[in-house]
Amino acid sequence: MSESFLHFLWKWKRFDSSNLRTTLGLPLDILSPGEWNRHSGPDFFNARIRMDGALWAGNVELHVQASEWDAHGHGNDPAYDNVLLHVVYEEDIPVISASGKRIPCLELKGKIPPRLIHQYRQLEQQRAGIPCGKFWGEVPDEMRHGWLKQILAERLEQKSGTIVRLLEETRHHQDEAFYRLLARNFGLQVNAEPFDMLARSVPVVIPARLRSNLLQIEALFFGQAGLLERHFEEEYPLLLRREYALLRHKFGLSPMNASQWKFMRMRPSGFPTVRIARFAALLQKNPFPLSDLLAARNLAEMEAILTVEPGDYWKTRYDFGKESAVPGTRRTGHDFIHTIILNTLVPFMYTLGKLKGETGLTGRAFELLAEIPPEQNRITRFWHEMGERTASAAQTQALIHLKKYWCEVRNCLECEIGKYCLG
């Protein structure tokens, strides 16, 4: 038995509520369980009950054992003086408020359907995969798809919070905020932090001023990344170092520590050197890509804007002085471009639509998710093995969010799927 389960039972009245009485024998009717409070203070606000014929409105506190009231320090906290009902699984002791009054108590022991307890314990004991794994195939398609739409909206809201903070940091300079988010996502998960630091150390206006010269933009980023401090024999990195020395003096720059970049256990195409080269090429092609991306009529036009080839040196190398086993054009791949659109453009578009009150932008964000092919990663493969078939990134994004922020933290009691599984 857990307190979160009691919250679920109380919120949805999933217990025998006929002929209820307090532990002192007073008749009790629950008219409204109140509003679930997720912050400090009583668990439910504004509940309405009829007790011993009198109508009451106020707060409700829940515990597994009544003695937890004192263990949690509520007995000396005036914030709990207005609790009109203490709901517990078992009343092991009577509870007295800070004002000296005994708080009426409802004991749920013996009032919870045995099947509901059994189903809840099954969810709690399931350790592999997701708690409702054995029930997933039994959930009606309409319910599952409807819940995933809500989860997708929650994911965009979560990402929107990050972008709002970026806009505040940049004093609502949209291009600077987009540039920082774009850089972070170029690093994917492994090098997201150093890419973020790199972008913050070089405001977007600087590479924009160097747009006519790719070598200078490369020198700027590789120098700021701290990756030009090694011993070189090739002419290209030596030329980058000379260019960076001039740019560093001109713009008053301070380079990062190169040790922050991660190279281990990565494919050569994912090396930060290759990604920095691509980032430089993109900024030369379009220093302020946001406006063009927002104006693009379809996914193909967005892909064209984000498709670049790095400088000639990087077509045959994946690090300074290290040649690739299979040289090629190194053109940005569709999977990587889709990842950038998913994690950068879509949430940015959604956030701008919200802030400006432009429903067309927010709607376009959802439409774009439906146009992008489904992602292929560890989490989407897990769902595929569960029997879930996906047709677009809208579905895979929702499933990724569901797994990370609902299933893995075992938030079953607030999940529509979890509530269905409980019967």
Q: Do 108 and 20 fall within a single domain? A: yes
Q: For residues 397 and 150, is the Cβ–Cβ distance under 8 A?
A: no
Residue 75 token pair: 């007995």
The verdict on 295 and 192 lying in the same domain is yes
- Which one of 355, 371, 387 terminates a domain? 371
DSSP per-residue codes, 135-167 = GGGGS-HHHHHHHHHHHHHHHHHHHHHHHHHHH
Q: What is the pLDDT of residue 310?
A: 92
- At which of 325, 352, 371 does a domain end? 371
Looking at the structure, do residues 164 and 105 belong to the same domain, yes or no?
Answer: no
86 falls within a domain? yes
Q: Provide the residue-wise pLDDT of the chain in tens; the chain has 423 residues.
A: 788 889 989 988 989 999 999 999 999 999 999 998 888 889 999 999 999 999 999 999 999 999 999 999 898 888 888 899 999 999 999 998 877 889 999 999 999 998 888 888 877 766 556 888 878 888 999 999 999 999 999 999 999 999 999 999 999 999 999 999 999 999 999 999 999 999 999 999 999 999 999 999 999 999 999 999 999 999 999 999 999 999 999 999 999 999 999 998 788 888 999 999 999 999 999 999 999 999 999 999 999 999 999 999 998 999 999 988 766 556 778 999 999 999 999 999 999 999 999 999 999 999 999 999 999 999 999 999 888 999 999 999 999 999 999 998 888 888 999 888 887
Q: Which two tokens stand for residue 164?
A: 């709002």
127 within domain boundaries: no
Are residues 225 and 362 part of one domain? Answer: yes
In a domain, 120, yes or no: no
Tell me if 410 is assigned to some domain. no
Element (H, E) at 304: helix 299-306
Instruction: Give the domain-ending residue among 356, 371, 386.
Output: 371
Whether 211 is covered by a domain: the verdict is: yes
- Residue 181 within a domain: yes
Residue 124 maps to a domain: no
Same domain, 16 and 165: no
The pLDDT of residue 61: 95
DSSP-assigned states of every residue in 201-264: HS-THHHHHTTT-HHHHHHHHHHHTTTT-S---SHHHHHHHHHHHHHHHHHT--PPPGGGS--T
Domain count, the chain: 2
Residues 246 and 353 in one domain: yes
Asked whether residue 196 is domain-assigned, the answer is: yes
Whether residues 241 and 173 fall in one domain: yes
* Nearest partner of 60 among 127, 10, 128, judged by Cα: 10
Cβ atoms of residues 422 and 120 within 8 Å = yes
Q: Which two tokens stand for residue 38?
A: 């997720």
> Which residue segment(s) compose the domain that 214 sits in?
152-371
334 and 215 fall within a common domain? yes
Are 213 and 89 members of one domain? no
Residues 40 and 156 both lie in one domain: no
Contact (CB, 8 A) for 39 and 20: no
267 and 316 fall within a common domain: yes
**Looking at the structure, do residues 24 and 160 belong to the same domain, yes or no?**
no
Q: How far is CA 140 from CA 380, 390, 417, in A?
A: 20, 16, 10
Q: How far apart are the first and last CA of the chain?
A: 17
Rounded to whole angstroms, the Cα distance separating 48 from 84 reads: 9
Whole-angstrom distance, CA of residue 379 vs CA of residue 400: 6
